[in-house]
Amino acid sequence: MKLSTAFCSLFLFAGISAFSQTQRSNLSYVDPSIGGVGLILEPTRPTVQLPNHLIRVYPVRKDQLDDQISCFPLTVASHRIVSLFQFMPISGKIDNSIWGGKQVYNHEVLTPYYYKSELGEEGTIVEFTPSQKSGIFKVKFQGNEPHHIRMGIFNDGSINLENGILSGTENFRGMKAFFYAEMDKPAIGKVYQQGGQRNLLIQTVKEVSFRYGISYISIEQAKQNLRKEIPNWDFNTLKTKAYNEWNKVLSQINVEGGTLAQKRVFYTALYRSYERMVDINEYGQYYSAYDHQVHKSDKPFFVDNWIWDNYIALEPLHTILNPAKEADKITSYIDMYKQGGWTPAFATVFGDWPAMTGNHAASWFADAYHKGVRNFDLNSAYEGVKKNSLQGTLLPWNNGPATVLDSFYNAKGY
């Protein structure tokens, strides 16, 4: 039977007095398990990350009712459709079944800044906390069975172990991702080649920490990202820093009155509004899939805005809460237009993904401008959305020049 800390917390919080509730951090109301069962559409995911930053981690499973976890991605590249690099502690006999094997989990702790659960029959404790472009896992195995870390990839690519250093490359959607990682105990591994995938099994001791950096530029840049953000093995300090970042953004809105359940729903929704867009600038440079170049820049480069949903409420909300960041997001869209020739629809990390028809960026830009966000190139923004409207195709799942069918559509006045 799977035990949920978030579920048990409901009963604990129900008995707290009205006075003590007023003293609680807004972050304590967040329940990432809300929305975890998708009856018709996709469920939400209990993402662990810093607000609007590259590293996004959650346990890979069908939904919140699934009692088994497949693995943990080192990051999610695009919301719920692209995960990169697999991390999974395993115990016991080693055979071919480990590569597709899942593990039951218990006593799961879900927060925006920290994850914890107990895996398998042995109750292996796995913990995670994030930084911007890096993260750290802490694993405590139980029992006397052999202990291993299973490293894999979701697409094509390879993982290597040399002189105790782990690194890897994963190819996805026409681009590459890279990771660099270290363990605080000696790492002895064996490489397994499976088709287009090169995976790794690492033998380890009972307690081990695993820290890593992610890059869309190179393995060396992933190493630099890790060095800047997690220079030591102090898990608790990093966890506290992540807590403080979330507490700061969630404290921008303080709700008076309402029930405990209503506050849980509100602050969980507010937490989810910071899952996207994410800044992929890697300390002065970023890779853009819109022209397949590495650009030098000291400004954020935000990607992964599924604008068809977000222009209605999410971006208008952040226009109020974070006007400077909103200008940076819009500037990122303008840069994508200049690099690729069209204003993106869904501006994912791997390029434009025109999943829905319409020129929703125009509504977003206009709303932000009329609410006082002016620190972006208005002329270029207008040029881009105008080109999409007057020269672009209306065909679904396409973003590019108008076709013969579009000309017929316009000529006949449809």
CA angle 347, 351, 356 (to 5 degrees): 50
Please state which architecture CATH assigns to domain 276-411: Up-down Bundle (1.20)
Is pLDDT at 8 greater than 70 in this prediction?
Answer: no
pLDDT for 221-275, tens place per residue? 999 999 999 999 999 999 999 999 999 999 999 999 999 999 999 999 999 999 9
Q: Phi then psi for 196, rounded to 5 degrees?
A: -85, 10
Order of strands, sheet of 351-353, starting from the edge strand that comes earlier in the sequence: 305-306, 346-348, 351-353
Tokens 């890897």 identify what position? 168
Whether the CB-CB separation of 190 and 146 falls below 8 Å is answered with no
**Spans of all domains in the chain:** 5-229+243-250, 276-411
Provide the phi-psi class of 81: left if phi over 0, else alpha when psi is between -120 and 50, else beta.
alpha
pLDDT for 275-293, tens place per residue? 999 999 999 999 999 999 9
86: β partners: 73, 152
Q: What is 5-229+243-250's CATH topology?
A: Beta-galactosidase; Chain A, domain 5 (2.70.98)
Is 48 or 412 the better-scoring residue by pLDDT?
Answer: 48
pLDDT for 58-90, tens place per residue? 999 999 999 999 999 999 999 888 999 999 999
Which two tokens mark 82?
A: 């692209």
